[in-house]
A and B are shown apart, each in its own frame.
Chain A
Amino acid sequence: MLKQWNKGQSVVELLVSVGAMSLLMVALLSLVVLSIRNSRLSKNRVQAVALVQEGLELMRAYRDYSWLVIAKKAKDGGSYRLPANWTVETGLTEVNCDKTAVMADDSEFSRCVVLAFEDEKENEIKVTVAVAWQSGNKWQQVEQTTKLSLWER
């Protein structure tokens, strides 16, 4: 009577196979998503490190331009926006070290520099350049520090 008793798959078999496949797919997809996110993060971090180093180099040029100006700012101990396009004259306006320090309207990076005197004699300025950007819903930050002085004098 039951001629096709051996044909096709049962619902249970089907469910098991679909479940196994979906588990595999979820694992693969999450791997792909993770690797895409990581590569974007590392790309942004490389750009941010370049911007930080550019900022430090710019502060070095600024030291050569006017020690008086950065010494005064270091005494105030605030945080400043770095001048755009490598110019020294109109640079270093006061800004908070957060996302308001965005570098340009179309830039996802914000950059600021914190100046402070390290020693009592006020010969050495500690310069900290920080670059921050938003990645997903988290803020990422890269910062580097150097010390500037008038060592030639």
Chain B
Amino acid sequence: MGKINGFSLIETLVSVSIMALLSLTLIAIFLATIKGGIKAQKVQMVHQQGDFALSVMSKTARNSQTADCGEEGTYLLLKTDLGNVAYSVGSDESVDRIASNSGEFLTSNLVNVEDLSFICHGGDLGNQVVTISFDLVAGYPASYGGQAQDWVRQNFATSVSTRRY
């Protein structure tokens, strides 16, 4: 009878499978962390661009004498002390961006602008209240062949009054 030394085949198999299970869970956790990080980065980028565009437009609207939203509400024409300012969607290399009439864009070419709308209501005191609303979209949803962590869609909206003096 030979003396048993070392591990049997069964023991090795069991230990290898336990190790495989453990490393699988570890890798899954690792991948989820990376995906979460990418998503957070995208959300932060979209937020920053939307907040910037919204604050520029609302600041100009607050300082303007009159506002004109057009019939469809697709553009906003503001009469300010420094001349007329207009905002609308401008296409740039197949990316829809918020454009001003000075030729500058308020959003980068990393995000698409959708549903940009301006609604003007006449106020009591001869002023106008402008409701600005738009969506920023980055990436494609999974149903369009995109990665879930790359797709962000966020609505930005506010209402501001033109000045009364």
Contact = CB atoms under 8 A, between A and B. Distances in A.
Contacts of A67: 124-125
Which of B133, B159, B164 has most chain A Cβ within 10 Å?
A: B159
Contacts of B133: 85-86
B157 A64 contact: no
Interface of A is mostly: helix
B158 to A, nearest CB: 6
A152 interface: yes
B161 interface: yes
A107 to B, nearest CB: 14
B127 interface: yes
A84 to B, nearest CB: 10
A64 B123 contact: yes
Given A57-B158, A61-B161, A87-B159, A68 B124 contact: yes
Nearest to A61: B159
Contact of A86 (B123, B124, B159, B164): B159
Interface in A50-102: 57-58, 61, 64-68, 85-89
Given A61-B129, A65-B124, A65-B161, 8 more contacts: A58-B159, A61-B158, A64-B160, A86-B131, A87-B131, A87-B159, A88-B131, A88-B159
